[in-house]
Amino acid sequence: MLDNKEKIFQQNLNEKAPNPGTVFFVHLLFEEKCEMPQQSVMNEIMKKHLGKVDCFSYSKTSVSFIPKNYIAHFKDADINPQLIITECIKIKEPILNELELSQLWDCPDGTEILEKCKYQVMGMDMLAAAMDYKERANMSVEFIEALAEMFPTCRAFIAGNSNKMLSRKSIVTCDIPKEQRFINYAVNVRFFNIQGTDDMIVDSVGMSTVWLPDVQYHFNTLNPDSVVYHAYNVLSYIYDNECPIKSGDHIDGLENDNMSINVQWNVQYEESLIQPAREVLDVNTGEYAAGNRE
């Protein structure tokens, strides 16, 4: 059982993660219904963020763009991906379940926003699975930033494959380097206590969108904030270097809450401990490791 503050959640590995490289999509949340922006306005904003684009479909219900600077390399042909924006509709079912609601670390007022926002727009890519992973990540970042400019009354974004929630303000004011923004926008690092023990789990969700592994830590005693910091550093290394890490390798661990070459932690690929079920890079924290390990 997973204990996160007042709520207790059941482990459920019958819940499967999306297939690697699946459609990337985001929910934009609104308190009031908004109209689709004018085509000329959308064209200018998309061009500003993504370079040359073709708007090949425009209606009150959806708008579709081809970002000409991006190519997906399929077996039989190279083609441009597509970016689709839906109309603003009423939210009929909760976007997040209780476990996901417990992991809104990057949007402290997320619960309040979800209660107030009754409408959503969705943005998604199509035909993008065969893109170079960094190209797809860059396109996703530019698309999110274009949507944030296009819909100024949007309160927050939820990345569909990780359920990471960010306020619109945090996106339009983001000043981290562009090459780090995909992880910031679309990868969620989660934290759980294990009920009845001193054990904790930190893991990530969302890296499979760009064909890369998530990470997982099962530990005790360590400061969980430091483990989260470590996880983001490992995720950045995986992203920057197309994940050269193999089972049995060692990575720098934590010493006095900072990453240090003086501490080496073993890693191996395993099935995740927490839903959704997926293969993760498990980081063995040495003397702080919890659970049964070989």
Residue 96's pLDDT is 96
Residue 248's pLDDT is 96
Same domain for 57 and 135? yes
User: Is 1 part of any domain?
Assistant: no
Same domain for 29 and 158? yes
User: Is 111 part of any domain?
Assistant: yes
How do strand 7-9 and strand 89-90 relate by DSSP bridges? unpaired
Same domain for 156 and 41? yes
Q: Which residues of the chain have pLDDT under 50?
A: 1-3
Residue 6's pLDDT is 56
Residue 1's pLDDT is 44
User: Is 16 part of any domain?
Assistant: no
Residue 294's pLDDT is 54
Q: Kindly tell me the sign of the dihedral angle through the C-alpha atoms of 28, 33, 39, 44.
A: negative
**End position of a domain, from candidates 139, 161, 185:** 185
User: Is 18 part of any domain?
Assistant: no
Same domain for 234 and 246? yes
Same domain for 162 and 29? yes
Scanning the chain, the segments in alpha helix (DSSP H) are 39-50, 98-101, 110-116, 133-150, 168-172, 181-186, 224-240
Q: Within a 13 Å sphere around the CA of 96, how many CA atoms are in the beta-carbon half?
A: 25
**End position of a domain, from candidates 185, 202, 226:** 185
